[in-house]
Amino acid sequence: MPDQTPSFPAATPSTARGLVLLGGMLSALSAGLVWAKADPATLGVGLPAMFVNEAALMRRGFELRVGWISVGWVVAACGIIAAALLLWGGEAESAWVAKAQIGLAGVILVLALLHLSRYLGPLTAAAGGAFIVSGSYLSVRRGAA
C-alpha cells in the first residue's frame, strides 16, 4: 500500500529569509502603533472633564514601560537584530543564528502576549514574532534535511 502522507514542498532559503524579514519589519513597525489606552481617572485632573480627547489617552509602544526601558524599544530592537542576523554568513553558523532569532522572537511574543489587547500594536508584534519563529524554523529544518 503506498504511503498516504501528504508531501509539502521544501521551503527555499529565500522563503525562510523573507519570513524573518517580514517579521522584523512588523516588529519594528508595531513599536509606533497603539498598544494601550490610559485610564482618564489616573491623569490627575481634579475636576471631571466635559470632553476627553480619546487620542490623548492612546499609549504607543514607546510610552509603555517594562522596568526602565520602553516596550517599543525592546520590540523594535529584537525585530531589527533578528533581521540583521540574516547577514551572518556560513552554513556552520546557521544553527546558532536560528536559535538566536527564535530567542529574540520569543521576547517579542512574550511582550505582545503580556500587553495583548484589541489594539494594533500588540497584534502586529505578535504576528512579527510568529513570522520570525516560522522563518527561523524553516531555515533550521531545511539545513537538517
Alpha-carbon torsion (31, 35, 40, 42), positive or negative: negative
Q: State residue 63's pLDDT score.
A: 87
Rounded to whole angstroms, how far apart are CA atoms 44 and 34? 22
The confidence band for 24, taking pLDDT boundaries of 50, 70 and 90, is very high
Q: Is the pLDDT of residue 36 over 80?
A: yes
Position 6 scores a pLDDT of 61
Who contacts 40 (Cβ-Cβ below 8 Å, separation ≥6)? 49, 52, 57
Where in the chain are the domains?
A: 16-144
Question: Amino acid letter at 56?
Answer: A
The average pLDDT across 78-99 equals: 83
pLDDT at 58 over 90: no
Residue of 76 and 91 predicted with greater confidence = 76
Q: Is the pLDDT of residue 144 over 60?
A: no
